[in-house]
Amino acid sequence: MTITHPVGIQPAERAVRLLGGDLTETALRLHLDGLTGVDAVGLEQRAAGLSTRSIKTSSKAWALDTIIRTCDLTTLEGADTPGKVRSLVAKAITPDASDPTTPSVAAVCVYGDMVPYAVEALGSRHAAGGTEGIQVAAVATAFPSGRASLAIKLADTRDAVAAGADEIDMVIDRGAFLAGNYGLVFDQIVAVREACIRPDGSHAHLKVILETGELQTYDNVKRASWLAILAGADFIKTSTGKVSPAATLPVTLLMLEVIRDWHRLTGEKIGMKPAGGIRASKDAVRYLVTVAETVGEEWLTPQLWRFGASSLVNDVLLQRQKMRTGHYSGPDYVTVD
């Protein structure tokens, strides 16, 4: 089968450049199955080594603020209400009312039907059109299972973008991927990317969720990361937060290595978002150092790095308060400088 893609959509050109003009299921499979296998022991040892070093005291405040600046505050429950979304937005704008130096978070992430309430609550703080401020992200494509027809997934995406979403977090069809139907997964990502395009030609950024806890092997995580980038992902994301295991440091390191290799190959920067299970500041800083030492400190901005970990912010605020009052007893952090 020939892989289809909308005429003129830039992301498909990524795959054409890498795989050649004959963009077919066979060409895609040959590339993905031909990737070098992952040395699981080596990967886990590298990840473990990144969590053993200490950080300079002067860098701890920077690290804590960077975590806040790159967090997506999230509410993704069936019981979500407009009031709950407004409360989430208030915390996103002012995470610590007792300390005006506390930075705002990068984004709030909600279901598509809650997007209008998030946009309204943000008001002038909404980063519409790429302006400075807080983004509104919406999960789409039958999140978290992804079990719906493509027509429903695209309608879900278009509705969220039309309501004002700046970012779309889509889930891949893990069943199709695990069955080896790479072309189907590719086509769906490309189609969702097209659904992110606004009438003015701009587009909501697309985060592609791999749900790594269901992919079974590191080799599959590597293949899925390459597949998502080839199909047009602006970000690749570990998890929905609804499946265990969610984000882990070895998986995040592996995905960052794919991003690094893509950047070396093309010069293009792809973002990364670990999500789910990151609750303590000491763990979050280990992720920061993994970014710095794998792709570089230039990735440590909201445009290229996000934490999907709402409860993490509470622990970071506690650590900031302890530092401010002189009663800080935080963990040994890994170095980022």
Measured in residues, the chain has a length of: 337
Please work out, in degrees rounded to the nearest 5, the angle formed at the alpha carbon of residue 28 by the alpha carbons of 212 and 16. Answer: 115
**Beta pairing partners, 2:** 24
Report in angstroms the alpha-carbon separations of 166 from 104, 271, 307, 309.
Answer: 17, 15, 17, 19
Long-range contact pairs involving 122-130 (C-beta distance under 8 Å, separation at least 24): 122/89, 122/92, 122/93, 125/93, 126/164, 127/166, 128/164, 128/166, 129/202, 130/202
Task: Please count the CA atoms within 13 angstroms of the CA of 24 that sit on its side-chain side.
Answer: 5
Compute the chain's Rg from CA coordinates.
19
List the 167-171 sheet strands across, edge first. Answer: 72-74, 107-111, 135-139, 167-171, 205-209, 235-237, 271-273
| Of the candidates 227, 252, 224, the residue with the CA atom closest to the CA atom of residue 308 | 252
Active site members: 169, 237, 273
Please work out, in degrees rounded to the nearest 5, the angle formed at the alpha carbon of residue 298 by the alpha carbons of 297 and 299. Answer: 85
Alpha-carbon distance of 188 to 186, in angstroms, equals 5
